[in-house]
Structure 1
């Protein structure tokens, strides 16, 4: 692998039962630097047989890992955090060259991962038994145990590959599970291999974490339908999430799904416009808009529409773009050619439907500079689809209820934001928006390790973070103890 990293080298392989090995497929996956299309690395893909092996060793390893003392589990997680902090620059370098992450985004991603890992350190001590006296049967005591689910499947996307993998892997391991993880092939190193190497160095026992690098054309649905895992954690697009949810339902597997978004950003007439513009620039253009929570639709009260739009266009037109290896770059490359074409098609369709350019972007290699569209309605194609690119649509509204109705007029419900000087009003509106998360006087891209993260409607099922992650990756078991002789009716 062409990398400057001193620690994370020669890891373009499968990681199964603590061994780095070539996949059994005759096919090779090629990973490119999304900025200049240069070769990043090649990986011999895993097959169904590799998946079977990974699940089998995970099942065996999990039984012993679940019995491992709390302090030892915590120590592994603490070691992983320390190693990550010590080698932060090396991780960021991989993220930049494989995922096209700017310096700001790469740093942000590492910190998010550290946050969830620090929260996960507490999980082994939170697997406590709770006792309840019976209210029905004399002499009975009820014990409720929180136990590991067993083996967890994790599937992660290309946009925040390291964090969105760690968000499931760290809590799952900390609660006594074993994990078989499949990152997106486009970011298989930053989303998979570096995590395996991190936990290998941290002292995690063999088989507890296994990383499979492959492609859907090689394995089909085998990764999800395999009989061993009983929990599937998936982050990605809504169409794929619906398919995985259907498969899981067929096999009675538990799922945690974090899917697409179409986040509204509402600017009321009494908002601090400078603050709103600052938030909108970050919340729309961090990582070129390739984030599920990214602002997709900006609803601005007509009385402040011109003021907001002019200030927003001025700020956005000055954003540096180009090579993410340059620390000053804000707008870097789109992940692949297909995504570029999809974004440009949405822009062209918006223009055909009557939208106008307040700022017309352009393609520079694999970079799209920002587009800002006005004269947009909420019924337009661009307002009803997740863009996943640096395209902002600004829509004027006249009444509060109109803004709420338009915000909810989408099949998605992940995140939202409201700007106003009246905090009570802002919180009331935030609660009326049909989303799993909403933020007053902030933008829509927020994530905290102790707060429930997840969506409504077609944006997903389940919640990550804190005690809610505990619920996703564990099961509850009732054991009753009859301490006195019980009388039966026959």
Structure 2
């Protein structure tokens, strides 16, 4: 397929359609709404359960031929996809800005990460997929990693491109077919973009299907007998439901869920640097990130100055339409999410916290907010806010910091700011999280690194990095081979 720079995501290609064995008209459509303005950007095809059933049948039928192709052919498709994400970065970024409320820099991070995910995944196609085993018999004994078959991917709205491609690309590279359900609020940048890129990269028909839809489509995907593995990124509440359904149907579910990550600022930290880290960790993409810094734990000798500087920074950050203004924060995805954020902020103030900055909104634009005088039981501290809110709590001793950081249902990411990096690493050993950043904030991801959390944050590192992806999207098969048929007593 030949594309020009401006037609990758041209609505005439996808409007009113779903990607199931090519583009086909959908029985139901829904508007694509720009959160910054409320404008309708197009109409999206919405999948129905019978579409999902047809897609999984097609994906299962197409997968064996795809897996049987020489590894270099699969790798070439992934490399071309990476090249295309770079070539059409501006087209995809346009939709990330308008459809998701991303500021341009965040949109650029997504397109760059998408390309890198494809390049890294291409190497999986030629990774050694077996181990020779010792055996007491006169035979060859080995394990072989084989594709699981069809992988179901359910991705959220906040980083829709990254959180789709990080499962889609490695699953395809390892010989699987994929059925992707993007969030219908961001299904152009989180779904249509992938369909168009892989279509242009030469992926055979039927190997990838993209089906935006509601909870009924998600449930049908999780329970479909032709889909043995589910890769889900989203809230802990929905993740629990996905895990329960998957277990009932004896299939694996890789769950990357919520977080309420702590940034610990020790007394020896560079204060201005720590404030910069805290602001970025809490306010990037209006805090709509699972790894966002949800709890600022600051040693008592620094806490007053930290709050004052963080509040001043928050007050200075511009908030507005990222498509037309130079802003640091764009809109919240929708009114329901905005209202949840505001309720957590107001209930925390009602419980005795002080509003040091923010706490107000205009339409879907929520001001970056700093809460002082917070206790560990207050709502905006104890719960995942998923908004631009920085609750600050002071601690006296390092043991206090460990207790506060570890006393949480989530265990996704941790940041520690200190002049002594070795001391920070020793401190991290006492706090269980899937990710740790010494002298950095809590938000970070790389295509070469394993990603995931513990406890209510998910089922561990099942995304990113070669070994994690191989574990996620292949099965282990034991094989023996001998020169002549074995003989037994009867």
Question: Match of 2:476?
Answer: 476
8 Å contact 1:115–1:449 — kept in the other structure?
yes
**Take 1:70 and 1:92, find their aligned partners in 2: how far apart are those partners?**
31
- The residue number in structure 2 matching 1:15 is 19
Per-residue CA shift, 1:169-206, capped at 9, x if unaligned? 00000000000010001011111011000000000000
Task: Between 119-128 and 63-72, report the one with greater CA deviation.
Answer: 119-128
Q: Does 1:300 align with 2:298?
A: yes
Q: Does the 8 A contact of 2:307 with 2:370 survive in 1?
A: no
Give the aligned partner of residue 288 of structure 2: 290
1:215 aligned onto 2:186: no
Query: Are the structure 2 counterparts of residues 145 and 351 from structure 1 closer, same or farther at C-alpha, using a change threshold of 3 Å?
Result: same
Q: How many pairs are equivalent?
A: 481
2:42 equivalent to 1:41: yes
**Which stretch of the first structure deviates more once superposed, 154-163 or 479-488?**
479-488
Whole-angstrom distance in 2 between the partners of 1:130 and 1:115? 28
The 1:79/1:219 distance shift into structure 2, 3 A limit, reads closer
Match of 1:160 in 2: 159
CA contact (8 A) 1:81 1:118 kept: yes
In the superposition, the TM-score normalised over structure 2's length comes to 0.95
Q: Aligned equivalents of 2:388 and 2:378: distance in 1?
A: 17
Q: Deviation of residue 484 (structure 1)? A: 6.4
**Hey, what's the Cα distance between the residues in 2 that align with 1:157 and 1:91?**
17
CA pair 52-369 structure 1, distance change in 2 beyond 3 A = same
1:422 to partner: Cα distance: 1.3
Aligned-pair CA distance for 1:44: 3.5
CA distance in structure 1 between the partners assigned to 2:194 and 2:58 by the alignment:
18
Q: Give the aligned partner of residue 447 of structure 1.
A: 445
Q: Which runs of 5+ in 1 are unaligned?
A: none
**1:159-238 residue pairs with structure 2 within 5 A?**
159-216=158-215, 218-219=216-217, 221-238=219-236
Whether contact under 8 Å (2:314, 2:358) holds in the other structure is: no
Contact 2:82–2:118 (Cα < 8 Å) also in 1:
yes
Say whether residues 1:101 and 2:105 are aligned partners. no
Is the Cα–Cα contact under 8 Å of residues 141 and 483 in structure 1 kept in the other structure? no
Distance in 2, matches of 1:28 and 1:473, equals 32
Q: Give, in whole Å, the separation in 1 of the partners of 2:432 and 2:351.
A: 27
Aligned partner of 1:402 in structure 2 is 400
Alignment match, 1:128: 129
1:5: how far off? 4.4
In the aligned structure 1, how far is the partner of 2:227 from the partner of 2:457?
Answer: 23
Gaps of 5+ in 2: none
How far residue 416 of structure 1 moved from its aligned partner, in angstroms, is 0.9
Segment of structure 1 superposing worse, 369-378 or 108-117:
108-117
Q: Is 1:384 the counterpart of 2:382 in the alignment?
A: yes
Compare 167-176 and 278-287 and name the one that shifted more: 278-287
Query: C-alpha displacement at 1:486, in angstroms?
Result: 5.0
Deviation at 1:272, TM superposition (A): 1.4
Partners in 1 of 2:84 and 2:116 — Cα distance? 14
SS class of match (1:234): strand
Q: Is the 8 A contact 1:431 1:438 kept in 2?
A: no
Range with greater deviation from structure 2 (158-167 or 462-471) = 462-471
Deviations 1:23-53 (A, max 9, x none): 23xx432220010110022224211111111
The CA distance in 2 between the partners of 1:465 and 1:86, in whole Å, is: 23
Deviation at 1:220, TM superposition (A): 6.6
Check conservation: 1:414, 1:435, Cα contact below 8 A: yes
Q: Look up the match of 1:246.
A: 244
Cα pair 1:372 1:394 within 8 Å, conserved: yes
Query: What residue in structure 2 maps to residue 359 of structure 1?
Result: 357
- The 8 Å contact of residues 81 and 115 in structure 2, kept in 1 or not, is answered as no
Q: Say if 2:262 and 2:415, in contact at 8 Å, map to a contact too.
A: yes
Cα distance in 2 between the residues matched to 1:350 and 1:386? 13
How big is the alpha-carbon RMSD for the aligned residues of Structure 1 and Structure 2? Answer: 1.5
Q: 1:348 aligns with which of 340, 346, 349?
A: 346
Q: Shift of the alpha carbon at 1:219? A: 3.9
Secondary structure at the counterpart of residue 316 of structure 2: coil
CA contact (8 A) 1:127 1:175 kept: no
Contact 1:66 1:148 in 2 (8 A): yes
Q: Secondary structure at the match of 2:302?
A: helix
8 Å CA contact retained: 1:361, 1:368: yes
CA distance in 2 between counterparts of 1:76 and 1:173 reads: 9
Deviation (angstroms), 1:277: 1.3
Query: Is the aligned partner of 1:63 residue 2:64?
Result: yes
Matched residue of 2:399: which SS?
helix
2-side partners of 1:163 and 1:221: how far apart? 22
C-alpha distance in 1, partners of 2:217/2:464? Answer: 30
Deviations 1:81-105 (CA, angstroms, capped at 9, x unpaired): 1111111111100101110110111
SS in 2 for 1:286: helix
- Between 316-325 and 180-189, the greater mean CA deviation after superposition: 316-325
Distance apart, 1:487 and its partner CA: 5.9
Q: Distance in 2 between matches of 1:309 and 1:157?
A: 32
Partner Cα distance (1:379, 1:48) in 2: 42
Quote the residue 1:281 is aligned against: 279
1:116 paired residue number: 117
